[in-house]
């Protein structure tokens, strides 16, 4: 083990003014495109570096390694990481518990200041962080921009939220008493993020944890550990004390399960598949010897999201929204549109326009800013192709339907549209998590809502209609956590669209919203007699 000197504790610095979302780059401007190309070349020169576990500020090496590969060029190693195992859980937990003892007593102003400094540093290196996403998970420039911008937004928003929470008051003061309400940290949390928003979701769950005064054991996805390592380095540079975040990539069935079941793990923040989320919930519910609390689970577990297009909709706008929501980042978003439910009166015309729009999507190297790049790994690619073959039997292939081999050696799949898929069929019910859109014909608006709600998920949805009455009905009857009217169902913005879903989509955590930090704190009330 090598120990680095702890970074100096910078002075507290708070930002004034209301929260505003981070602006995106306009890559139609040549100066921005030139800077992005330069950032990509800079990061290209750093590929293949080895990264250590970070436990209590100490760098730890292991015999087992995780090799992060570029999905668009699998022969290219993005980073080599140490692989944490069961024997690393106890050291990581002890380091986090030690850090929690002091970090939980650190002023909220200092904790918020850490997030503000991190946001400042991330702005300075925004394109460089975007370039890491291009290589590690095959995001094109705009998708990478959205991911890093959201990370900055989480820094800014949760810092302000923590300061707001610190000013909480009881609704009334009893005569003769001094009554106070405070939100105190929980303890040590396990943060288990996904690969599809490997900076924003990873950082969001981590930042909410630490600004609330908790310590964290961070287990990033084995498909995207490098961007997490770069972010933890940024936290250290911003002055984060040792042990507040312990960086431990590892296997889910080994390190992950042992971490979730540890008696000192106070909560688990997870984003990923339904199957893994339910497993975590089950393991966390089992009381372990020495466990003193009911573990809290904060779970976001995907969706089978639908866009309803009514007969009175603006058809061109609906086609554009469906195409963007279905195929942005190769359909690998829990909010992605995987079901388009189209009124039978406009069904054929919609399909004609959609086919033309989808066939304009370019597939290729994200470093060259193609519209679509590779899916995350070979296993995912094979699963998606199996779904496509089922869809060809159950429905009618409109476009796509195969690997995009002309794009290169990576895990490229053509953007695929399959029409005439019946409700309740496999493709209509199961999350595919790839560039596959199924189109379903509805008899009328009642039937469309019935199909949309007939799923075990309930994350996002959208309705395109010019009828105020129908839009209002969707607000009342479309059972999803995030509903969008006359716009796509992806692209939730921090502050404006607190994000989280119903049913098997998770615990409706509403990240990026005013309730989120409640999940990482517990309320303590003090009533003091003063007369």
CA distance 247 to 269: 15
* Residue 385 forms part of a structural domain: yes
Is 22 one of the annotated active-site residues of the chain? no
345 and 419 inside one domain: yes
The answer to whether residues 527 and 517 touch, using CB atoms and an 8 Å cutoff, is: no
- The beta strands (E) that lie in 410-496 are given as 416-419, 436-442, 457-458, 460-464, 482-485
> 184 and 149 in one domain?
yes
Mean pLDDT of 463-473: 98
Question: Per the domain annotation, does 256 fall within a domain?
Answer: yes
Quick check: pTM over 0.75? yes
Phi, psi of 190 (to 5 degrees): -95, 120
Q: Are residues 168 and 249 in the same domain?
A: yes
Residue 146 and residue 238 in one domain: yes
Banded pLDDT at 343 (limits 50, 70, 90): very high
Which of 334, 428, 431, 489 is an active site residue?
334
Decide if 300 is catalytic: yes
Reported as a pLDDT band with limits 50, 70 and 90, residue 252 is: confident
Closest to 366 in 3D by CA, of 529, 46, 156, 142: 142
Using one digit for the tens of pLDDT, what is the confidence trace for 227-236?
999 999 999 9
| Residue 246 forms part of a structural domain | yes
What CATH number is associated with residue 411?
3.40.309.10
Per-residue pLDDT, 253: 87
Number of domains in the chain: 2
**339: part of which helix (H) or strand (E)?**
strand 337-343
Show the domain range for 225: 31-301+510-524
- List 300, 337, 428, 489, catalytic entry: 300
Residue 7, pLDDT > 60, answer no
Q: Note the pLDDT of residue 4.
A: 43
Does residue 481 share a domain with residue 413? yes
Q: Give the alpha-carbon dihedral of 174, 180, 181, 183, to 10 degrees.
A: -170
Write down the pLDDT at residue 11: 53
One domain, residues 157 and 245: yes
Residue 68 lies in a domain: yes
Do residues 485 and 516 share a domain? no
Any domain includes 419: yes
Same domain, 181 and 194: yes
- Say if residue 122 is in the same domain as residue 237: yes
CATH of the domain at 283: 3.40.605.10
Are 314 and 283 contained in the same domain?
no
Mean pLDDT of 323-329: 98
- Are residue 260 and residue 370 in the same domain, yes or no? no
Do residues 290 and 318 share a domain? no
């Amino acid at each position: 083990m090598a120990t680095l000197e702890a970074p100096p504790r910078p002075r507290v610095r708070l930002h004034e003014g209301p929260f505003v979302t981070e602006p995106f780059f306009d890559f139609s401007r040549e100066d921005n495109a030139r800077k992005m190309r330069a950032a990509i070349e800079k990061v290209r020169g750093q590929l293949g570096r080895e990264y250590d576990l970070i436990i209590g500020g100490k760098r730890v090496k292991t015999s087992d390694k995780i090799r992060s590969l570029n999905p668009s060029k699998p022969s290219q190693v993005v980073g080599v990481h140490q692989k944490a195992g069961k024997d690393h859980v106890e050291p990581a937990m002890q380091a986090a518990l030690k850090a929690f003892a002091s970090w939980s007593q650190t002023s909220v102003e200092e904790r918020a200041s850490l997030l503000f400094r991190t946001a400042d540093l991330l702005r300075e290196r925004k394109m460089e962080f975007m370039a890491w996403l291009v290589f590690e998970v095959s995001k094109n420039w705009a998708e990478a921009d959205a991911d890093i911008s959201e990370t900055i937004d989480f820094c800014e928003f949760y810092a302000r939220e923590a300061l707001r929470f610190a000013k909480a008051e009881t609704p009334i003061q009893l005569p003769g008493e001094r009554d106070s309400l405070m939100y105190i940290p929980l303890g040590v949390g396990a943060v288990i993020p996904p690969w599809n928003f490997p900076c924003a979701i990873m950082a969001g769950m981590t930042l909410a944890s630490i600004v609330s005064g908790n310590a964290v054991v961070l287990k990033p996805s084995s498909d995207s550990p490098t961007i997490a390592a770069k972010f933890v380095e940024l936290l250290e540079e911003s002055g984060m004390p040792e042990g507040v975040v312990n960086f431990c990539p590892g296997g889910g069935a080994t390190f992950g399960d042992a971490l979730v079941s540890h008696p000192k793990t106070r909560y688990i923040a997870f984003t990923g598949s339904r199957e893994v989320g339910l497993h975590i919930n089950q393991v966390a519910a089992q009381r372990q010897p020495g466990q003193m609390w009911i573990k809290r689970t904060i779970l976001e577990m995907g969706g089978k999201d639908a866009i309803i297009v009514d007969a009175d909709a603006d058809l061109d706008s609906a086609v554009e929204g469906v195409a963007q929501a279905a195929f942005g980042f190769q359909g690998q978003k829990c909010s992605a549109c995987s079901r388009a439910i189209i009124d039978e009166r406009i069904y054929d015309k919609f399909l004609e326009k959609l086919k033309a729009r989808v066939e304009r999507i370019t597939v290729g190297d994200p470093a060259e800013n193609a519209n679509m790049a590779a899916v995350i790994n070979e296993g995912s690619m094979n699963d998606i192709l199996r779904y496509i073959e089922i869809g060809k039997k159950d429905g009618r292939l409109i476009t796509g339907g195969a690997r995009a081999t002309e794009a290169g050696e990576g895990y490229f799949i053509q953007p695929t549209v399959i029409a005439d898929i019946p409700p309740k069929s496999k493709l209509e019910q199961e999350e595919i998590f790839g560039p596959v859109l199924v189109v379903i014909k509805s008899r009328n608006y009642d039937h469309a809502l019935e199909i949309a709600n007939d799923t075990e998920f309930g994350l996002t949805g959208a309705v395109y209609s010019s009828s105020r009455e129908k839009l209002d009905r969707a607000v009342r009857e479309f059972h999803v956590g995030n509903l969008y009217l006359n716009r796509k169902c992806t692209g939730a913005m921090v502050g404006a669209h607190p994000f989280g879903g119903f049913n098997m989509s998770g615990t409706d955590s509403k990240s990026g919203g005013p309730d989120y930090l409640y999940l990482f704190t517990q309320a303590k009330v003090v009533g003091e007699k003063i007369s």
